[in-house]
Structure 1
Amino acid sequence: MIVELSHRVHDGLVTYPGIPAPRLGVHLSREDSRTLYAPGTEFHIATITLAANTGTYVDTPFHRYPDGPDLAGTPLDRLADLPGLVVRAEGPGRAVTVDRGLDVRGKAVLVHTGWDRHFGTDAYVGGHPYLAPESAAWLAEQGAALVGIDSLNIDDTPPHGERPAHTILLAAGIPLVEHLTNLAALPEEGFRLHAAPPMIAGMGTFPVRAYAVL
């Protein structure tokens, strides 16, 4: 069984306030292609202009650190076919902590907050849940392979701009996947996560088609 974990990207999608929405266009229409190919043969070639932080995307260390691995330099074994583990947010607070009794080494740790229900609305931006900095430090120490969340950001987003989870996890070479969805459909364990981006040099973030295989 395959479980979709990505938001659909479409023309005009607002993922994060202040980041431009993607714009879709046409390089070659089906009508124009008919003049280039044999009768009955036609193609459509689209264009897209988008910021790298659009929809469900991965952050690699280069996003935070100039000397860190970029999309092309991040090993596939950090992005694909990873044993997965879901951490369910509990309690009224926004900061999500991870149970230190869990075995997270070499695993994709996905933080399920349920905040994805607000994606695409104004409610998604304000008061979102995030990973507690002390849990980010523990995940780095324990050797998690990847960390993801179904919220606006894995960090709290106050005006002063501190991003401790990004700072800690990306320094440890741990990719982050933000704006996940449908984590409620996953068991706590017993699945493999795939969230690989295109192999682009010189970029630190990019949308992914994240999914889990049960």
Structure 2
Amino acid sequence: MKREYFVDLTQRMLPGREANFEFQAKSSDATEFMPQLQHDDDVWYIISRLDMCTHNGTHVEVPYHHLKDGLDVAQFPVNQMCGNMVLIDISDKEPFAEVTLDEIMKYDDQIAAGDILFFKTGRDNLFRDPDHWCDYQYLSIDVINWIIQKGVICIGTDAAGIEDIEAKNQPGHCTLFRANIPLVESLTNLDKVESNQYLVFVLPLPIEGMEASPVRVVAIKKEGLVEEASRKA
């Protein structure tokens, strides 16, 4: 399929240069990990080790993050993180402003059960700013309950979160997780996609016992999928 049909919605991960959660990587000759992997001196053969938080970079959070009996990233059904993408642009709102149900209702006829809903805040440019990365607009509980009632299967944001930072115990997260809806944080490039024109794929590592995982989030334009299907027919 043509490259033009793909949009990567994932922040790059920079070892040793992340501002919010430490992320380190070390590459060594493969023989340091497995001495049996002998090779000629002029052969490049490395293996790397990562030291990171599960919330590094663009990541998805699942119910186990706040619910002791909730699904972890290995258990969570991957089909619930793949689907039609609807984009809601709230970038005109000031940081720390509440996104209200009245503001979101204008998107009502664009959203169907089974959709993935992404919020464009325009705050992804603050991803590595330790002083301002939490300066984002937040979703009211009324908005989150409405999302649940609409049958949305996954939500995401290009900001560091969806919560009022003054609220205790992350009520927005907990409301989503009780409805078994995962949350993707720190997306990017949402200015390059259009609502209802893309299928999006959010793919975590299936690590047992983990409440979150870095993800590669890829949006594929439906036009490209139709073209590819026609080519194969």
TM-score by length of 2: 0.81
Superposed displacement of residue 27, structure 1: 4.1
CA 1:144–1:35 in structure 2 vs 1: closer, same or farther (change >3 Å)? closer
Cα deviation, 1:29-86, whole Å, max 9, x if unaligned, reads 5999897025754311000100101000000111111111111111011123x11100
Aligned-pair CA distance for 1:26: 2.4
Which residue does the alignment assign to 1:128? 136
Measure, in 1, the Cα distance between the counterparts of 2:69 and 2:37. Answer: 48
Match of 1:5 in 2: 9
- Structure number with higher helix proportion: 2
In structure 2, distance between residues paired with 1:108 and 1:13 = 31
Residue 194 (structure 2) pairs with residue 187 (structure 1) = yes
Tell me if the contact between 1:71 and 1:199 (Cα under 8 Å) persists in the aligned partners. Answer: yes
Q: Which amino acid aligns with 2:140?
A: A
The code of the aligned residue for 2:85 comes to G
Q: Is the 8 A contact 2:14 2:23 kept in 1?
A: yes
- Tell me: CA distance 1:35–1:64, structure 2 relative to 1, closer, same or farther (3 Å): closer
Alignment partner, residue 225 of structure 2: none
Residues 54-93 of structure 1: pairs in structure 2 closer than 5 A: 54-80=56-82, 82-89=83-90, 91-93=92-94
Greater CA deviation, 2-11 or 87-96?
87-96
> What aligned pairs does 1:105-184 form with structure 2 within 5 A after superposition?
105-122=113-130, 124-158=132-166, 161-184=168-191
Task: Tell me the CA shift for residue 151 of structure 1.
Answer: 0.6
Which residue, 87, 99, 120 being the options, matches 1:96? 99
Distance 2:148 2:19 in 1: 27
Which stretches of structure 1, 4 residues or longer, exceed 6 Å deviation after superposition? 30-35
**Given that residues 84 and 109 in structure 1 are in contact (C-alpha distance below 8 angstroms), is that contact kept between their aligned partners in structure 2?**
yes
1:47 match: secondary structure: strand
Aligned equivalents of 1:129, 1:13: Cα separation in 2: 26
Structure 2: distance between partners of 1:72 and 1:120: 28
Aligned residues: 209
Which segment drifts farther, 115-124 or 82-91?
115-124
Inter-CA distance 28–73: structure 2 relative to 1 (3 Å threshold): same
- CA displacement 1:154-211 (0-9 Å, x = unmatched): 21222x5331220111111111100011101111211011111111110010100111
Q: Where does structure 2 lack aligned partners over 5 or more consecutive residues? A: 222-233
Higher radius of gyration, 1 or 2: 2
2:26 corresponding residue in structure 1:
25
Tell me which moved more, 33-42 or 67-76.
Answer: 33-42
The structure-2 alpha-carbon separation of the partners of 1:57 and 1:213, relative to structure 1 and needing over 3 Å to count, comes to: same
Instruction: Kindly indicate whether the alpha-carbon contact (under 8 Å) linking 1:61 and 1:204 is maintained by their aligned counterparts in 2.
Output: yes
